[in-house]
């Protein structure tokens, strides 16, 4: 239990996926103009990353690093990049179709963000990190969920800051993306304060 908690705090706060790992920069910079939109995107990412962490961990344990295959000398782990990217792309499609059919209200709120998520390198990044750190299935799911919560908190905060600076007098060359990057730098400095926690 203690280990799981450490993984969760580590991924959500200390090694924040956006502000210190630089994964998922595109949606972080591009999507979040309003807090509600950012929250919608963040929610969709939590959903997809948690699910994909689970599915990729199961595939890794029972197919790619299958014990009986390993004993026979067949090691499929080198296929992980190819398998994961395809699994994630399919998974997002399935989730979209399922939500559209079965849960229209949820689809209304998350639907537009789902296609964007395949292009989010955080999803593949988490799946690959789970393998590098040799997490089991439960640990992978916890790590995925915590990473996504970190993404959610970063993107919502960033949208909040952006709403506030809308009316400020920003030097012309810095308007748009440049000021967003400066805010990101300041948020990143703030998050560095957590670095001694674990």
Partner 1 sequence: MNKNMERLYNGIIKENPTFVLMLGMCPTLAVTSSAINGLGMGLSTTVVLILSNLLISAFRKIIPDGVRVPAFIVIVASLVTIVEFMMKAYFPSLSASLGVYIPLIVVNCIILGRAESYASKNPIMPSIFDGIGMGLGFTLGLTCIGLVRELLGAGQIFGAQILSLSWFTPITIFVMAPGAFLVLAFLVAGMNIIRKKMDEKGKPLAKPAGCLDGDCASCGKADGCKDRKEA
Q: Which is nearer to partner 1, 58 or 192 (CB)?
A: 192
Task: Tell me, residue by residue from 62 to 91, as one string, x for binding to partner 1 by CB under 8 A and - for no binding.
Answer: ----------------xxxxx--xx--x--
Question: Binder to partner 1 among 4, 6, 22, 137 (CB under 8 A)?
Answer: 22
Compute the distance between CA of residue 89 and CA of residue 42 in angstroms, rounded to an integer: 18
* Binding-site size, partner 1 (CB under 8 A): 51
Q: Does 179 bind partner 1 (CB under 8 A)?
A: yes
Compute the distance between CA of residue 171 and CA of residue 196 in angstroms, rounded to an integer: 36
Alpha-carbon distance values, 113 to 70, 81, 120 (Å): 39, 24, 11
Least separation, in Å, of the C-beta of 143 and partner 1? 13
Q: Does 188 bind partner 1 (CB under 8 A)?
A: yes
Task: Tell me, residue by residue from 146 to 175, as one string, x for binding to partner 1 by CB under 8 A and - for no binding.
Answer: -------------------------xxxxx
Closest C-alpha to 30, from 110, 95, 119: 119
Q: Does 48 bind partner 1 (CB under 8 A)?
A: no
* 3-state SS assignment for residue 136: coil
CB 38 within 8 A of CB 109: no
Angle between helices 80-102 and 121-132 (to 10 degrees): 130
Compute the distance between CA of residue 106 and CA of residue 94 in angstroms, rounded to an integer: 14
Pair of tokens at residue 76: 């499929």
Question: Binder to partner 1 among 10, 11, 21, 55 (CB under 8 A)?
Answer: 21
Give residues in contact with partner 1 (CB under 8 A): 19-27, 29-31, 37, 41, 78-82, 85-86, 89, 112-113, 115-116, 118-119, 121, 124-125, 128-129, 132, 171-179, 181-182, 184-186, 188-189, 192
């Amino acid at each position: 239990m203690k280990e799981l908690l450490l993984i969760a705090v580590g991924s959500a706060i200390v090694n924040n996926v956006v502000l210190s790992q630089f994964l998922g920069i595109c949606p972080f910079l591009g999507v979040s103009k309003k807090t509600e939109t950012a929250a919608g995107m963040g929610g969709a990412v939590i959903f997809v990353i948690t699910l994909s962490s689970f599915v990729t961990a199961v595939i890794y344990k029972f197919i790619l690093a299958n014990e009986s295959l390993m004993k026979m000398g067949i090691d499929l782990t080198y296929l992980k990049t190819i398998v994961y990217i395809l699994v994630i792309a399919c998974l997002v499609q399935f989730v979209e179709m399922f939500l559209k059919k079965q849960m229209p209200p949820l689809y209304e709120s998350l639907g537009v963000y789902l296609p964007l998520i395949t292009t989010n390198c955080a999803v593949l990044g988490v799946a690959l990190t789970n393998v590098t750190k040799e997490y089991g299935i439960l640990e992978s799911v916890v790590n995925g969920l915590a990473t996504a919560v970190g993404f959610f908190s970063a993107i919502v905060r960033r949208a909040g800051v952006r709403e506030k600076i809308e009316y400020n007098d920003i030097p012309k060359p810095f308007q748009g993306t440049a000021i967003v990057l400066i805010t990101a730098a300041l948020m990143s400095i703030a998050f560095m304060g957590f670095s001694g926690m674990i």
